[in-house]
Amino acid sequence: MPTWSLDSYVLLLERAGYHVDVLLNEDVSISFLRVGLAKYDLIILRTDAFNLESMNYYCSGEQVTAQTSTNFANEISSKELQVGVCLGFSSIFLENSYQENSLRHGLVYVLASGAAELSSAFLGAGASVFVSYNEFFTLRWGRMDAFSQAFFKYLSRGCSVKDAWQELNIYLKLGHGNTASWPQLHWSGNGDYKI
């Protein structure tokens, strides 16, 4: 699914001093997800998700072909991967791919439905802080991207994760009122972390 205003994410991060690698579609393959995340101290994972047999799976960019189920039979049987609307990976996949201290001490931001469950996998592998949403939502219409960009705007201005979280909540209440029911951003780990 196309990212709404991808340039806004990139510009905010570049202004904060980051070199930004943008990986889309097939570049976010299972082989990349298995080892490639360890190269980064700030990870933004924006993807769709699906639930199958009470497990959440997050879409990779791996192409689903007639051979996919055969090629990944072991990972599918162990519930690391599953073929659904895409070839999705689970928290089990991340836990098996990234052992303790294998990730850089940084920020992991996951923009996907129900992704808060991934926090233990990323924090256990060494990330300093994990930020995401626990509710289910759609990435269509750009609403969640607008929230995410506001969050990164606060971070790029020097706010800590917990302060950016508070600013985002104020922004949502001022703009939409206290009764609006938007998905709530959650963070775990070091809330004092700054980018």
Q: What are the boundaries of each domain within the chain?
A: 6-137
Distance from chain centroid for Cα 148: 11
Residue 14, φ and ψ in degrees, nearest 5:
-65, -40
Whole-angstrom Cα distance, residue 168 to residue 96? 33
Q: Could you tell me which residues come within 8 angstroms of residue 177 by beta carbon, excluding any fewer than 6 positions away?
A: none
Please give the pLDDT value at position 67. Answer: 94
Whole-angstrom Cα distance, residue 4 to residue 81? 27
Please give the pLDDT value at position 1. Answer: 42
pLDDT digit string (tens) for 96-131?
999 999 999 999 999 888 888 999 999 999 999 999
Cβ–Cβ < 8 Å for 183, 148: no
